[in-house]
Chains A and B, each alone.
Chain A
Amino acid sequence: MLDDALQAEQASRQGFARRLAEFLGSRAGRGLVIAVPYLWLAVFFLLPFVIVFAISLSEAAIARPPFKLLEDLGYGLYQVTVNFGNYLFLLTDSLYAVAYLNSVKIAAISTVIALLIGYPMAYGIARSGPAWRNVLLLLIILPFWTSFLLRVYAWIGILRDNGLINNLLLGLGVIDQPLPLLYNDFSVYIGIVYSYLPFMVLPLYANLERLDPSLLEASADLGCRPWKTFLTVTLPLSLPGIVAGCLLVFIPAVGEFVIPALLGGPDTLMIGRVLWNEFFSNRDWPVASAVAIAMLVLLVVPIMIFQRYQMKQGERA
């Protein structure tokens, strides 16, 4: 009798202990899964923006590091100096406004060209047979795995005055002197479209692949011409893919540094290059920070649209 009671109590205690451990384990485990990546991104992605903003409000100083955020008043007192001078400087020197507008223009035009090239490719891949489809997709992704820097560099050899294209055209007698293909806006467009084309094709493909072919058949059965079916059925249905692809190209292209630095001319002003020079050549960290914050303000709406798409994508898939 006593034994039974003891045993029952022990069993229930064991059960309780086990359940407690399980509860704690899963709670703690759950907490850990949430905390680790959350903290990492908060410290190394979010916090830096706060610091950039703070430093954009500081004064440049000849020191290490070259900015002055806290004024030492002695007696252990510090004064935070807030200085909007860097932003005023961005407004007064027309270089920055021109660079911003030019970056947006170049990124927008490149995005449209990439869409015009990428859409038929994505459509073609989505409509091909399953065996071919995987091979073609791999071929789209493969260049993305090889060095971006080296692929941009390859265009120097192709577009130079004595490069492949000019040599070919001269040899064929189409032109008498080399065309100025490199170190201007044209070569920057080529560089951006070329580097970001896979980013355009992949979301478009993901969207077009899901398109129900019976819709197109229905449209054809009802007497719609193929071109009209495309305009009234396919195109509107693929709009989410178009938006995602365009944002994936446009946003990074606005701040692009490598492509204008390697392929652009001295008068190809882009804001990423301006920021780089402000930081590495002029060593003016506060102005570089102000340039970065201004760029973020410019991009915040496209970035938020992209995030909404990304979230929906994650939930729907």
Chain B
Amino acid sequence: MRRRSTFLLMAMCFGFAFLYGPILSLIVYSFNESRLVTVWGGFSTKWYGELLRDEQVLEAALLSLQIGVVTATAAVLLGTLAGLLLARFGRFRGRLLFSGMVSAPLVMPEVITGLSLLLLFVSAEELIGWPSGRGMDTITIAHITFCMAYVAVIVQSRLSSLDDSVEEAAMDLGARPAKVFLVITLPIIAPALISGWLLAFTLSLDDLVIASFVSGPGSSTLPMVIFSKVRLGVSPDINALATIIILIVTLFVVIAGVMMSRQEKARARDAQQALQAHD
């Protein structure tokens, strides 16, 4: 027994080192004075300055943030409906097809999704004149489509792990379905919606392949700019950019995690107090 747990401990140490080593190396080398990425030339923040003067990067970052916010918001709306449909609507006509369309985007290779959406946009433009040209709109639609699948899965699993007797009780007491959803269901799945929003936002911010297919001239997202820079070789200002992104994301995830666990604790406490009051 003891031998196995040392084995497990070592495997976990190796795994986490594997996951975090490359990320740490990006952060460390972003403060490297030398342009040669692997030679340590002393501590410096000059690459951050260089990054902040790079118009192309800033413009792309702004575009990506805009797309990310719109995508995440729309994906949460659509994904919540889809998750609700899968978890609470029982059997309806075309359920099999629908659950297929929700789970397939999770594993579909990005090149296929990107190409097929581009061909849809091009054909639609030929036939009905919309969308005229490609750019921010088409990227946003493409991102909403694959992000809503992730949100739907998160919402569905949250709803399925939830006892639906509270909702049924409210329904029995005469509340209409829409009201039950707003007053009972929504507050309970709120943490799932927050993590769904954040996940959709990062997925959108991170996507290179699909955006490359469906973007038009003049609308380069941040990953597209990073990719073209990285293809030419290692550049230290990209390390600085990576560090900024990692720090922001870590901050967000930790804050969201703390908030959610607090909320969870508060709810447990409320429930306990309610029970005690009842006794």
A residues engaging B (CB < 8 A)?
A: 22, 25-26, 29-30, 33-34, 36-38, 40-49, 51-52, 55, 65, 117-118, 120-121, 123-125, 127, 134, 136, 138-143, 145-151, 153-158, 160, 162-164, 167, 194, 197-198, 201, 226-227, 247-248, 251-252, 254-258, 261-262, 272, 275-276, 279-280, 285, 288-289, 292, 295-296, 299, 302-303, 306-307, 310-311, 313-317
Contact = CB atoms under 8 A, between A and B. Distances in A.
Nearest to A64: B122
Given A65-B122, A306-B103, A314 B160 contact: yes
Contact of A295 (B4, B11, B92, B109): B109
Given A33-B81, A45-B104, A292 B111 contact: yes
B interface, over-half SS: helix
B8 interface: yes
A248 B107 contact: yes
A36 B81 contact: yes
Contacts of B276: none
B41 interface: no
B38 A37 contact: no
Q: How large is the interface on B (under 10, 10 to 19, 20 to 34, 35 or more residues)?
A: 35 or more
Interface of B: 1, 4, 7-9, 11-12, 14-16, 18-23, 25-26, 29, 36-39, 78-79, 81-82, 84-87, 89, 92, 94, 98-112, 115-117, 119-120, 122-123, 126, 141-142, 144-145, 148, 152-153, 156-157, 160-161, 176-178, 198-199, 202, 205-206, 208-209, 212-213, 223, 226-227, 230-231, 234, 238, 241-242, 245-246, 249-250, 253, 257, 261
A299 B108 CA distance: 9
A143 B27 CA distance: 13
Given A146-B246, A150-B238, A164 B23 contact: no
Contacts of B87: 314
A251 B107 contact: yes
